[in-house]
Every structure is written in C-alpha cells, then in structure tokens.
C-alpha cells in the first residue's frame, strides 16, 4: 500500500509540477486561467502558452462555459512580460525557440482577440509586454490601483509586439505612440484613462468580483458588463498632457519637435528617447503607423516578421545584456544614432518570410 501511495503521490506531484506554472480550472460558468510563476512575476514562457491556447479553444466550444477569466498570483504582477532570457539564449545559437515562442505567442494573442466567449483580464499589478498581449485584446480589462502598465521594448532592442501595432495607435490622441517609443509606465487609474483598461476596481474587491463572475447564471457580454460596472469606481478627471509632439512621419521629426518645444516634459522625453535603440525606435514608429489601419491578424503577421528581424540583428542581444544580464544599463547600440538607421534597413525588417510567415 505504501508503495502504491508513494507512486501515486509522485505521479500527482510530477503532474502538478509541470502544470504549476499556469493553473487552468473551471468554476461555475467560468474558465479560469491563473498565471502561477510569482517569483518570476508571472512571466510567460512557451510551455505556459502551449497550455493556455488549447484550453481557450476548448472553453470556446463548451456550452457550459460562459466566460473566461485570466489573472496572476502573488499580488505583485499580472504578468511582467515574456520569457526574454530564454528567447535570448535560443536566438544566439539559432535554436527554434526564437521562432516558436513568438509564433505561438502571437497565435495565442489572436485567439484572445477573436475569442467567442467574453474574456475578462484582471490586470492587478505589473502588466508589461507579453502580459499586455494576454489582456488587452480581450473584451474586458480590469485595472486596480496596483496596476503598472508599460511596453518597455525599445529599451532592449525590441519593439512593442503582441499586437502593440494594433492597439497602441488606436488609443486616443497620440498616447500610444508616446507609450511605445518611450516605454513610459502608466499607473492605476491612468491605465483606464488611456483606454487600455475598460474598468477600474479596488484591488481588495477583486476576490468578490471573481466570485460574482463565477456565479453568473447566464453570462452574456451585457451581464458581465453590468457586473463590472457595479464594481467600477469612476475616475476623477485629470487630463493627460497633449502628446501631439509624437505625431510625425519620422523619428527625426519627433526629436526635432521635442527640441523645438523645449518644455520640461519635452526635455525629459528626449533624454528617454536617447537611451533607446535607434533601430527599435524607427521600427516601432513604422509598426504603429502601418498597424493603425490593419486588422489584428495582419498586425501580428507583420510583427512576427519584425521579431525575426530582431533575432537576426544586434540590438536585441545587446539590450538584454545591458538591462537584464550585466545590468550596467549602458547598451552600445549599432547603429548608434537615428540618422544611421537607413530606410532600406527598416524596409528589410518588414519583408515577408515566405514559408516561414505567421499564418493566422
């Protein structure tokens, strides 16, 4: 008996161990996805993507599942991004993971964006990069006072991917361009005001909200919206700056506008932009300008091409080294100045990949 028990426990733990990075459970009418790597701030890796995607597809077909909820554990983060370290290691040695990760991540982002069941993301805590891709394309995004939102990719030689080219240019004014190029961090209510969240709820109320969502008997989008509205705390109106300085046809033009403006805000933005990868900045501005009039599917296909261009290039590995590995915060970008990044080089990043293109 003891041996049986031992083997049974071993099997159980082996199973929970591999499944522990993400928990997938059905409660009441809700399918619940819990990102469960609190020590890594719930960063998203390939095995998590490969568990979440088929589960969403299954719940979509299940008549007993009315809605899908996604949340993170640990109280600090919803999801702080993708597993950049693993991608870096893979990209350096030409490992398939550098292709597979982006491909499967974007396929998941598209599944969220086209999900037939209402999808509710509880973005409590840090929500950056890959975490934005798991939330922003869903029907409902609930921010709290603990939410910290950013797309910080230009600082590591990447670009705001996971569909950033779709949602960022669609935010009001030019705030999306500002967030994309500078990696500026929005906190709490500002995430709602920017139009990234659909609702704002106090963090301590989330367990109650979740219980009520699970208990919904016929969960239509309207029912869910009504419930979220009943928890929603109206924002006191505070106006954003005007981000019109970020409205331009080229990065050089944006820099020129900021210099001419000369306000403390503009000077601060110039300082930030000067630290970013010039290649990433040019790639990102074009990504957003083109993405503004594209479908989510076409944006993700474009972004997959860009991701592979970054894997072939220099700045991504240098940015990861400077920010995440050596932490000296002084990346040596190549080329080092905006003027040195040719239109030809940028054009090349956007070229189709033939058989290797992302197909959605």
The residues spanned by each domain of the chain are 19-356
pLDDT at 10: 64
Residues 6+ apart with CB under 8 A from 331: 157, 277, 315, 318, 319, 321, 322, 323
Contact 25, 32 (CB under 8 A): yes
pTM of the model: 0.93
| Catalytic pick among 28, 31, 81, 82 | 82
Instruction: Supply the mean pLDDT for the chain.
Output: 94
| Catalytic pick among 161, 190, 210, 303 | 161
pLDDT in tens, 64-108: 999 999 999 999 999 999 999 999 999 999 999 999 999 999 999
Residues 6+ apart with CB under 8 A from 318: 157, 331, 332, 333, 334
Active site residue 130: yes
Cα distance between residue 175 and residue 4, in whole Å = 60
Contact 77, 123 (CB under 8 A): no
| Catalytic pick among 21, 83, 124, 153 | 153
Does the pLDDT at position 54 exceed 70? yes
Contact 79, 35 (CB under 8 A): yes
Secondary structure element (H or E) that encloses residue 120, with its range: strand 119-123
pLDDT in tens, 151-195: 999 999 999 999 999 999 999 999 999 999 999 999 999 999 999
pLDDT at 3: 73
| Nearest CA-CA partner of 249 in 285, 280, 278 | 285
Active site residue 82: yes
pLDDT in tens, 205-221: 999 999 999 999 877 99
Contact 320, 156 (CB under 8 A): yes
Does the pLDDT at position 245 exceed 70? yes
Contact 144, 200 (CB under 8 A): yes
Classify domain 19-356 at the CATH topology level: 2-enoyl-CoA Hydratase; Chain A, domain 1 (3.90.226)
| Catalytic pick among 28, 31, 125, 130 | 130
């Amino acid at each position: 008996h003891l041996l049986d028990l031992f083997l049974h426990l071993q099997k159980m733990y082996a199973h929970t161990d591999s499944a522990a990075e993400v928990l997938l459970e059905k409660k009441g009418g809700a399918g619940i996805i819990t990102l469960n790597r609190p020590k890594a701030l719930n960063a998203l890796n390939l095995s998590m993507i490969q568990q979440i995607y088929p589960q969403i597809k299954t719940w979509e077909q299940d008549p007993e599942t009315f809605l899908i909820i996604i949340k993170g554990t640990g109280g600090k983060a919803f999801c702080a991004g993708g597993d950049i370290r693993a991608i870096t290691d893979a990209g350096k040695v030409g490992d398939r993971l550098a292709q597979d990760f982006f491909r499967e991540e974007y396929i998941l982002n598209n599944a969220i964006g086209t999900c037939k069941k209402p999808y509710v993301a509880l973005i409590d805590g840090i929500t950056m990069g890959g975490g934005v891709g798991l939330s922003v394309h869903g029907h409902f995004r609930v921010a709290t006072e603990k939410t910290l939102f950013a797309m910080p990719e230009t600082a590591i030689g990447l670009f705001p991917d996971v569909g950033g080219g779709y949602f960022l240019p669609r935010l009001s004014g030019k705030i999306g361009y500002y967030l994309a190029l500078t990696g500026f961090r929005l906190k709490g209510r500002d995430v709602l005001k920017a139009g990234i969240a659909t609702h704002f709820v106090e963090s301590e109320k989330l367990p109650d909200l979740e219980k009520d969502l699970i208990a919904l008997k016929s969960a239509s989008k309207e029912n869910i919206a009504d419930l979220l509205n009943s928890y929603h705390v109206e924002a006191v109106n505070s106006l954003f700056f005007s981000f019109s300085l970020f409205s331009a046809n080229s990065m050089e033009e944006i820099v020129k506008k900021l210099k001419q403006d000369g306000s403390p805000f503009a000077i601060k933005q110039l300082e930030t932009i000067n630290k970013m990868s010039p290649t990433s900045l040019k790639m990102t501005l074009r990504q957003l300008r083109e993405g503004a009039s594209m479908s989510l599917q076409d944006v993700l296909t474009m972004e997959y091409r860009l991701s592979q261009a970054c894997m072939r290039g220099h700045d991504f590995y240098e940015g990861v080294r400077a920010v995440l590995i050596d932490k000296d915060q002084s990346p040596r970008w190549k080329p080092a100045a905006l003027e040195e990044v040719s239109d030809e080089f940028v054009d090349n990043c956007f070229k189709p990949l033939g058989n290797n293109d992302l197909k959605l």
